[in-house]
């Protein structure tokens, strides 16, 4: 039985410190994602991939809530995915 990719949270370990986390594709409500985002920030993550805002209204709302609510500290980088064409 394989692992459902929607249940994977990607955490990267580099140079003795956890440096990157990924909330993208995680099957959680926006409230759960917010609690997890706060946990990752408190844990010391400095780079967090949060969503693909073009994919759904809930992902867009989560990004907006992070930014408008002042949830992202100055020393933390968030990443979002987008679709682009040449």
Radius of gyration of the chain (CA): 13
Quick one: how far is CA 5 from the chain centroid?
15
Model confidence at 6: pLDDT above 70: no
Give the residue extent of every domain in the chain. Answer: 5-80
The CA-to-CA distance between both ends of the chain, in Å, stands at 39
pLDDT tens string 13-65: 444 455 566 666 567 788 888 888 898 888 888 888 887 777 788 888 888 99
Q: Give yes or no for a contact between 37 and 67, defined as CB atoms under 8 angstroms apart.
A: no
């Amino acid at each position: 039985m394989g692992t459902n990719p929607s249940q994977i949270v990607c955490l990267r370990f580099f140079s003795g410190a956890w440096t990157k986390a990924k909330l993208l594709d995680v099957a959680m409500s926006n409230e759960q994602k917010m609690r997890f985002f706060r946990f990752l920030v408190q844990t010391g993550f400095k780079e967090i991939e949060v969503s693909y805002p073009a994919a759904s209204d809930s992902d867009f709302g989560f990004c907006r809530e992070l930014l408008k609510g002042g949830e992202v500290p100055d020393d933390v980088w968030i990443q979002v995915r987008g679709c682009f064409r040449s």
